[in-house]
Structure formats: C-alpha cells, structure tokens
Amino acid sequence: MGEPMVVVEGLQKAYGPTPVLRGIDLRVAAHEVLVIVGPSGSGKSTLLRCINFLEDYDAGRVLVGGKLVGKRQVDGRLVRDTEGNINRMRAEIGMVFQGFYLFPHRTVLQNVVLAPMRVRGLSRAEAEAGAEALLRRIGLLDKAGAYPEQLSGGQQQRVAIVRALAMKPSVMLFDEVTSALDPRLVGEVLDLMRELAHEGRTMIVVTHEMGFAREVADRVAFMEHGVVVEEGPPGQLLGDPGDRRTRAFLGQTE
C-alpha cells in the first residue's frame, strides 16, 4: 500500500449509552476503492459521517491527506478544530448521500457551481465551465437549467455525485447511494461510480450491492456491531470469508 490517503485510528462513538463505533481502524491508499459492507445498524454510515466530521466522535482520530479532520492537537490532546478549518477539510472530502439532497430551489447547474464559487472562490464563469464539462460527461448537460424535481432519481443522484466532484475532492464517500433508487435506475449510478474508480479516484463506498463490491473494490471490509470484523480483497472476503459472522451475513444477502 502506498501513502495512505485516509487513516482512521481507534475511532469510537456512542449515542448516549449505545456504542455505535467500537474502535475502528482503517487505511485507504490513494487511488484505492474500499467497499464497506455489513448489516444495517453496524455503524457504516456513522463511520463515513465521522470521516468528514459531519459527526463528532468520542475517541480516535481521522486523517485525510495526512491532515487531521475536525480536530487539532493542543498540549498533546485532541480538541475540536476551528469551524473555518473544519469547513476547509470538508471541502477536500466529497460525500454522496442515500437521499441525494440536491438543493430543490436551485437548478442543476446552480447546484453544481454553488460550492466551487462560495467555498473555493471561483468566478461564475470558471465554475460554470467546470460544471458544464462534468454534466456533459454524465450526459445531463441538457438538464443544466432544470430543477431537481424534474429529474429521475438516477439522474438526481448522478448530479449529486458531480456536485461533489466539482470540488475536486481528494477522497469520495458514498453512503448507500443506490438504496433509495428504483431498481431499474441503480445501474446508471453504479456505472458512473465504476468509471470514477477506473479513473483512479480514492473512494470509500458503503453499499449493499455485492456485485459492485466484487467487481470494483480493491478491498472490502465487513462491519458488524461497530467493529471491522475482517477486510481483504473482494475475491477472498466475499468468496471465502474467514470469519463466521461474515459468512452468515453473505449467506443472508445472496
């Protein structure tokens, strides 16, 4: 493994008395695709939301590109970073959600240019040129002036992916991005993600799509009850898992 792009060390988080993450250690190299599978409630989504600090955690640390996310070191202790620093780090981490969350009052183009203009400080012309290139690539340039509600779920999710890409993030997080889609629309979203993987983007993908995991992942991690039970190459983890819990989970899904 090369220099890790994402490092998660000893991550712990509880909601009140309920532990959700019980010591997660993960490393993702640059250009690597890590797929995380596991039953619902295993903490996969919470893990992603801790990586870009949408959620704070109780112990452990997260580094992206060698820099701490959400925390800084003061007298040997980790404390919450300034809001400005947190925002700057988040801008380097793209995230796509199960529910798309396109901004309904803005057109497709306005959705994509918002953050590059407001956060990166690009001019409108620069941001629009970048956004149009991305929309052309996914075949939705003709929808640039449309509002999200006029698009199919699959189109909306692809725009959401492109909206994250427009920030040129160093890692992309995908949180069950096909789970809310009509089955016949899942393919177009997975196709786009497959392309991004082949481009060599660093990706962490939480999904229930085992076919996608098998085909696209460089590594697969299985999570249950807030721990990574095992991880390995997709052929091994999905084909011949070492742990009884992984076998039980895969037996249910396939």
4 vs 169, beta carbon nearer another protein = 169
Compute the least distance from the CB of residue 46 to another protein, in Å: 13
Integer Cα distance of 252 and 193 in angstroms: 25
Long-range contacts of 10-13 (CB under 8 A, 24+ apart): 10/59, 10/60, 10/61, 11/47, 11/50, 11/57, 11/59, 11/60, 11/61, 11/62, 12/57, 12/58, 12/59, 12/60, 13/43, 13/46, 13/50, 13/55, 13/56, 13/57, 13/58
Question: Would you say 120 or 245 has its CB closer to another protein?
Answer: 120
Tell me how far, at minimum, the Cβ of 58 lies from another protein, in Å. 19
Cβ closer to another protein: 42 or 111?
111
State phi, psi for 105 to the nearest 5 degrees.
-90, 0
Percent composition of the chain: helix, strand, coil (DSSP 3-state, to 5): 40, 30, 35
Nearest distance, CB of residue 130 and another protein, angstroms: 14
Nearer to another protein, 105 or 244 (CB): 105
Q: Under the rule (CB under 8 A), what is the footprint of another protein?
A: 52, 54, 83-84, 87-88, 90-95, 97, 99, 101-105, 114-115, 118-119, 160, 163-164, 167
CA distances from 112 to 52, 125, 150 (A): 19, 13, 16
Pairing of strands 203-206, 171-175: parallel
Taking the complex as a whole, the smallest distance from the CB of residue 88 to another protein amounts, in Å, to 7
For another protein, the closer CB: 38 or 70: 70
Q: Closest distance between another protein and the C-beta of residue 55, in Å?
A: 10
Which 3 state secondary structure label does DSSP give 96? Answer: strand
Nearer to another protein by Cβ, of 44 and 90: the residue is 90
Smallest distance from another protein to CB 224, Å: 25
Contact 24, 59 (CB under 8 A): no
